[in-house]
């Protein structure tokens, strides 16, 4: 649970959109104000059908902002000032319609305009009918918004006002208060501010000819999560990613590449850096002389593919020299004798830390959401419990921060 003391003196701009859950936003205003938060509210036209401007005004003890075109609203408080004078924007309830407008970058009313004009953190509390929430359009909009750094709380499972059951209920006011405290806590915890990091992620594709390639099963989930976790701690992150199905993580610069050689070039272009984390599953070999003509089946013997070794990005970045990042972290995916192989790999590659994991069939690591890893450093091995890849990433980013802050 985040410490609520962090809330005192903070300014929240609360956008209330048109959903039945809007009545809970009145309670949210009270719970925030009890904790010393200044709440200013924007009510959409549909929102005003569910709660009255008078209630919102009485609870915030401020004007309720409603109309993009109202001269009074614009002269007293332009939409830019509304977001400038807030520390956080909270959308509760966030309806399917408002999420769609946010995802599309629309600015067709005051709520959408402040959300587009802001550079402050945004937290949404979705609330809608279960089928609207589960619709591919809403899911895609939400994923896009999250990839751009929008935070989300809920929706919760339960019986809804429309008598259906499932995810769609807006999070309870105290859960939203908790999430808001969490956002402020994360914002103030930036031990890697001023540090530059390079993270490699995903597979590489090595062409055989213009239409075929050699690849592997890496999903990029772990590497992308590490990039996001380092960025959340304030690092300036360049993610060098092979082809994956993942959205670009929030707050990172992303270089999309295909081959190992392109990955190395992108990493070298991102130097100097303080931190390098090589989580990509780089192809060890590429096809020698992959040409620009498609190989043809001509009834004769199948073509023999001659392979040549790819550059080792981790070993290259680990090489002593002026441009070597202070902390280089590699991964070792093994299928048995994990610790022995990984310890040997740390020495062979010349990196500082190795994150070792067992990728034997049945562990579900490749493409799965969980990971069981061991962190191998000069002074020994730390074995972590099985946890989601996001949690592994957060713990690794915290270990990196401790390395630099000496705590």
Residues at the interface with ligand C5P (CB under 6 A): 200, 260, 278-280, 282, 284, 310, 312-314, 330-332, 345
Q: Shortest Cβ distance from residue 121 to ligand C5P (Å)? A: 32
Nearer Cβ to ligand C5P (177/314): 314
Q: Shortest Cβ distance from residue 331 to ligand C5P (Å)? A: 4
CA 5 vs CA 36, 37, 96, 103, 360: distances in Å: 9, 10, 33, 33, 46
How far apart, in whole angstroms, are the C-alpha atoms of residue 398 and residue 389? Answer: 14
Instruction: For the chain, give the longest Cα–Cα distance.
Output: 84
Q: Shortest Cβ distance from residue 389 to ligand C5P (Å)? A: 15
How far apart, in whole angstroms, are the C-alpha atoms of residue 176 and residue 157? Answer: 15
CA 227 vs CA 205, 220, 237, 279, 292: distances in Å: 21, 11, 6, 10, 34
Buried b (16+ CB within 10 A) or exposed e, 278-298: bbbbbbeebbeebeeeeeeee
Residue where the block lists tokens 């000069």: 378
Q: What is the DSSP string of 6-23?
A: GGTT-EEEEEE-SSTTHH
What is the bridge-based pairing of β-strands 213-214 and 275-278? Answer: unpaired
The residues assigned a catalytic role are 162
Nearer Cβ to ligand C5P (171/282): 282
N-term to C-term CA, the chain: 22
How far apart, in whole angstroms, are the C-alpha atoms of residue 206 and residue 316? Answer: 19
| 209 DSSP 8-state letter | S
Q: Shortest Cβ distance from residue 355 to ligand C5P (Å)? A: 8
Q: Shortest Cβ distance from residue 378 to ligand C5P (Å)? A: 17
Bridge partners, residue 151, by sequence:
123
Q: Shortest Cβ distance from residue 333 to ligand C5P (Å)? A: 7
Nearest to 216 by CA among 372, 370, 366, 376: 366
């Amino acid at each position: 649970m985040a410490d609520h003391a962090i809330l005192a003196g903070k300014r929240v701009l609360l956008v209330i959109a048109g959903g039945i859950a809007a009545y809970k936003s009145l309670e949210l205003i009270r719970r925030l104000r009890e904790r010393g938060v200044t709440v200013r509210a924007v009510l959409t036209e549909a929102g005003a059908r569910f709660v009255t401007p008078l209630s919102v005004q009485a609870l915030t003890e401020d004007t309720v902002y409603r109309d993009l075109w109202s001269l009074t609203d614009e002269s007293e408080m332009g939409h830019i000032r509304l977001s400038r004078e807030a520390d956080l924007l909270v959308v509760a309830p966030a309806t399917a319609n408002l999420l769609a407008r946010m995802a599309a970058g629309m600015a067709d009313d005051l709520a959408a305009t402040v959300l587009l004009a802001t550079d402050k953190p945004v937290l949404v509390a979705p609330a809608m009918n279960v089928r609207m929430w589960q619709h591919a359009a809403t899911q895609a909009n939400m994923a896009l918004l999250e990839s751009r750094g929008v935070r989300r709380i809920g929706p919760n499972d339960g019986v809804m006002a429309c008598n259906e059951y499932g995810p769609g209920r807006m999070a309870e006011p105290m859960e939203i208060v908790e999430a808001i405290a969490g956002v402020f806590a994360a914002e103030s915890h930036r031990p890697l501010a001023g540090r530059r990091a390079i993270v490699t992620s995903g597979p590489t594709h090595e062409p055989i000819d213009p239409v075929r390639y050699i690849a592997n099963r890496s999903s990029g989930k772990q590497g992308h999560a590490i990039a996001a976790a380092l960025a959340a701690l304030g690092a300036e992150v360049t993610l060098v990613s092979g082809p994956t199905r993942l959205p670009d993580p929030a707050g990172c610069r992303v270089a999309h590449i295909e081959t190992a050689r392109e990955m190395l070039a992108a990493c070298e272009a991102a130097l100097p850096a303080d931190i390098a984390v090589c989580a990509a599953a780089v192809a060890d070999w590429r096809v020698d002389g992959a040409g620009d003509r498609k190989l043809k089946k001509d009834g004769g013997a199948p073509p023999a593919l001659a392979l040549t070794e790819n550059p080792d990005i981790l070993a290259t970045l680990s090489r002593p020299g002026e441009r070597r990042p202070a902390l280089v972290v590699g991964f070792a995916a093994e299928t048995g004798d994990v610790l022995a192989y990984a310890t040997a790999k740390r020495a062979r590659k010349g990196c500082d830390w190795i994150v070792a994991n067992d990728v034997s069939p049945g562990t579900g690591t490749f493409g799965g959401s969980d990971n069981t890893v061991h962190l191998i450093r000069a002074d020994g091995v730390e074995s972590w419990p099985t946890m989601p890849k996001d949690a592994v990433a957060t713990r690794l980013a915290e270990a990196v921060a401790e390395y630099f802050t000496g705590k």
